[in-house]
Amino acid sequence: MAEVTHGHGSAGAPDSAEAAYERGNRLAKAGRRREAEVAYRAAVAAGRDAGTEESVALAAAAASSLGVILHRTDRLGPAAAACREAIALGRQSREAGGLVWASRAAHNLGVLLAEQGRDQQAEAGWDEAVALGRASRGAAGLVWAARAAHNRAGLLQAAGQGEAATRSWEEAVALGAECDDARGREVGARAALGLATFMRERSSVAEAVSAYRRAVTLGGDSGAGRGLETAATAAYALGAYLAEGEDTGDVADIWRRAVKLGRDSATTSGLVAAAAAAYNLGVLLESSAPETEVEALWRDAAALGRESRVADGLAMAAQAALKLGQQSESGGSAQAARARYEEAVAAGRGAGTPVGLEIAERAQQDLDRLT
């Protein structure tokens, strides 16, 4: 039977805010956006009319979710209005939960305004999201505050306000760590990685290294896919950055951690970072470690790159297979070398990128020489 979506229960009486809100969530999850919109509007009206702190907080939740639905269907004006209503209702409720929904709505309003190029208004929206998230005094609100601070940092950087961007990234990192929640740590890790990249561009070596290490720690502590992915990306980048300088003492350990973090993330970008770390670690240790250890690293890089199933990962798999072929050939095993060169050709062509195709061509030349 089709679900009732006109804002009344089966007996014809108006739904409570909670019932209408939950129905809106079910409909939104099912992809029935127009019906979800009707349910959310009913929840907003019912919660506002009931007038209790709890019902007004539910109305804030419904208005916030309504804003998401309207944004996704490209009704930007009504979406902004819904976000503003959610912010007002959340403040009015004075409940921690209401403030969380208000923070979410202020964050989303900032995103919506930034998409329209209204940067000053977007910045103000994210300022409000940070304040509301802090006021909620709970993990959920702090996550939205951290997201808003991270987005604001990117906006400020693009506007050439480097010092303000740095402060905003630092605030996002602190908020993410403070909320003691996997989602918060993941956002904090992304903010730390953004800060590290910016500090690197400014040649602020100590600050960049510190931020990279913070990203690795926060992302690793999150234990969640995207957090681990960010940690793996940061660990690989940190190792590469340190390898460019004179102090390369802990590069090997950093890249080993990147391999583990990327593998554990099971995400595409995490696997690519792990493959890159394993390959480069093999190159780093090629002249000092046992041949079997280097071979194991390149085998790992090839497997992780293939598992990613994206161009960058496949190019890395091709590079690792080429190295393995050269290693086998220098060890006198032509048959093993041919198998590895064939693998490099397939992976490089599969990548389809200039780098991948170049590796495939080199591997094909080595293969032709052996046949």
Question: DSSP character for 243?
Answer: H
> Over the stretch 116-175, which tens digit does the pLDDT of each residue have?
999 999 999 999 999 999 999 899 999 999 999 999 999 999 999 999 999 999 999 999
The answer to whether the 13-137 and 270-371 domains have the same CATH topology is yes
- Coil, helix or strand at residue 8: strand
**pLDDT one-digit tens code per residue, 238-282:** 999 999 877 667 999 999 999 999 999 999 999 999 999 999 999
Q: Is 295 exposed, middle or buried (0-12, 13-18, 19+ CB in 10 A)?
A: middle
Q: What is the CATH number assigned to the segment(s) 270-371?
A: 1.25.40
Contact 103, 148 (CB under 8 A): yes
- DSSP sequence for 269-308: HHHHHHHHHHHHHHHHHTTTS-HHHHHHHHHHHHHHHHHH
At 214-228, the pLDDT tens digits run: 999 999 999 999 999
Q: Is residue 17 within 8 Å of 47, Cβ to Cβ?
A: yes
Q: What angle do CA 301, 307, 310 make, to 5 degrees?
A: 95
Among 139, 127, 159, 68, which Cα is nearest to 97's? 139
- Tokens standing for 127? 């300022």
Q: What pLDDT was estimated at residue 6?
A: 36
pLDDT at 2: 34
Q: Is the whole-model pTM more than 0.85?
A: yes
Looking at per-residue pLDDT, the higher value among 371 and 282 belongs to 282
| pLDDT tens readout for residues 48-100 | 999 899 999 999 999 999 999 999 999 999 999 999 999 999 999 988 899 99
pLDDT one-digit tens code per residue, 298-316:
999 999 999 999 999 999 9
Helices within the chain (DSSP H only): 17-29, 33-50, 53-72, 76-93, 96-115, 119-136, 139-158, 162-178, 182-201, 205-222, 225-243, 251-265, 268-285, 291-308, 311-330, 334-351, 354-370
Q: What is the fold, at CATH topology level, of the domain defined by 13-137?
A: 1.25.40
Long-range contacts from 192-196, C-beta under 8 angstroms, 24+ separation: 192/218, 192/234, 193/230, 193/233, 193/234, 193/237, 194/150, 194/153, 194/154, 194/169, 195/153, 195/166, 195/169, 195/170, 196/234, 196/237, 196/238
Per-residue exposure over 115-138, b if at least 16 CB sit within 10 Å of its own CB, e if not: eeeeeebbbbbbbbbbebbbbbee
Torsion angle defined by CA atoms of residues 345, 349, 354 and 360, in that order, rounded to the nearest 10 degrees: 10
Parse the chain into domains and list their residue ranges: 13-137, 270-371
pLDDT of residue 245: 78
Q: Count CB atoms within 10 A of the CB of residue 259.
A: 24
On average, the pLDDT of the chain sits at 93
